[in-house]
Amino acid sequence: MGSGCNYDGLDSFVKIPTIKFTKLFINGEFIDSISGKTLETIDPRTGEMIARVAEGDKEDVDLAVKAARHAFDSGPWPRLPGSERGRIMMKFADLIEENVEELAALDTIDAGKLFSTGKVRDIPVAASILRYYAGAADKIHGEVLKMSREFHAYTLREPIGVVGHIVPWNIPSVSFFIKVSPALAAGCTMVVKPAEQTPLSALYYAHLAKLAGIPDGVINVVTGFGPTAGAAISSHMDIDAVSFTGSTEVGRKVMQAAAASNLKVVSLELGGKSPLIIFDDADVDIAAQLALTGILFNKGEVCVASSRVYVQEGIYDQVVKKLVENAKAWVVGDPFDPKVQQGPQVDKKQFEKILSYIEHGKREGATLLTGGKPLGGKGYYIEPTIFTDFKEEMLIAKDEIFGPVMALAKFKTIEEAIERANNTRYGLAAGIVTKDLNVANTVSRSIRAGTIWINCYFAFGNDCPFGGYKMSGFGKDFGLEALHKYLKVKSVVTPLYNTPWL
Ligand code: ADP
Burial 315-353 (b: 16+ CB within 10 A, else e): bbeebbebbbebbeebebbbbbbeebbbbbbbbeebbee
In a domain, 502, yes or no: no
In a domain, 501, yes or no: no
> What is the identity of the amino acid at 60?
D
Single out the residue of 45, 118, 13, 3 nearest to residue 381, CA to CA.
45
In a domain, 373, yes or no: yes
Domain identity same for 248 and 285: no
Ligand 1 center to 246 CA (angstroms): 6
Percentage above 70 pLDDT, the chain: 96
Atom nearest to 194 CA in ligand 1? 14
**Domain hosting residue 315, numbered range:** 275-454
How many domains in the chain?
Answer: 2
Domain identity same for 414 and 479: no
Ligand 1 center to 472 CA (angstroms): 15
> What is the identity of the amino acid at 24?
L
pLDDT of residue 502: 62
pLDDT of 7 higher than 80 = no
What residue owns the CA closest to ligand 1's atom 26?
230
pLDDT of residue 13: 60
pLDDT band at 149 (very low <50, low <70, confident <90, very high): confident
Domain identity same for 164 and 296: no
Domain identity same for 247 and 134: yes
Q: How far apart are CA 369 and CA 409, in angstroms?
A: 12
What residue owns the CA closest to ligand 1's atom 9?
246
Domain identity same for 374 and 253: no
CATH number of the domain enclosing 52? 3.40.605.10
Q: How far apart are CA 293 and CA 297, in angstroms?
A: 5
157 ligand 1 Cβ < 6 A: no
253 ligand 1 Cβ < 6 A: yes
Return mean pLDDT, the chain.
96
User: Which of 269, 301, 383, 400 is labelled catalytic?
Assistant: 269
Reply yes or no on whether 303 is catalytic.
yes
pLDDT in tens, 190-215: 999 999 999 999 999 999 999 999 99
In a domain, 463, yes or no: no
Greatest extent of the chain over all pairs of C-alpha atoms, in Å: 83
pLDDT of 2 higher than 60 = no
Residue range 111-131: average pLDDT?
Answer: 98
Ligand 1 center to 253 CA (angstroms): 9
- Read off the DSSP letter of residue 342: B
Q: Which of 179, 196, 201, 250 has most ligand 1 atoms within 8 Å of CB, for mutation?
A: 250
Residue range 382-408: average pLDDT?
Answer: 97
Domain identity same for 337 and 390: yes
What residue owns the CA closest to ligand 1's atom 21?
226
In a domain, 496, yes or no: no
193 ligand 1 Cβ < 6 A: yes
pLDDT of 185 higher than 60 = yes
β-pair partners for 155: 491
Domain identity same for 333 and 243: no
CATH number of the domain enclosing 424? 3.40.309.10
Q: How far apart are CA 189 and CA 159, in angstroms?
A: 9
DSSP string for residues in 12-37? HH-PPPP----SEEETTEEE--TT--
pLDDT in tens, 316-347: 999 999 999 999 999 999 999 999 999 999 99
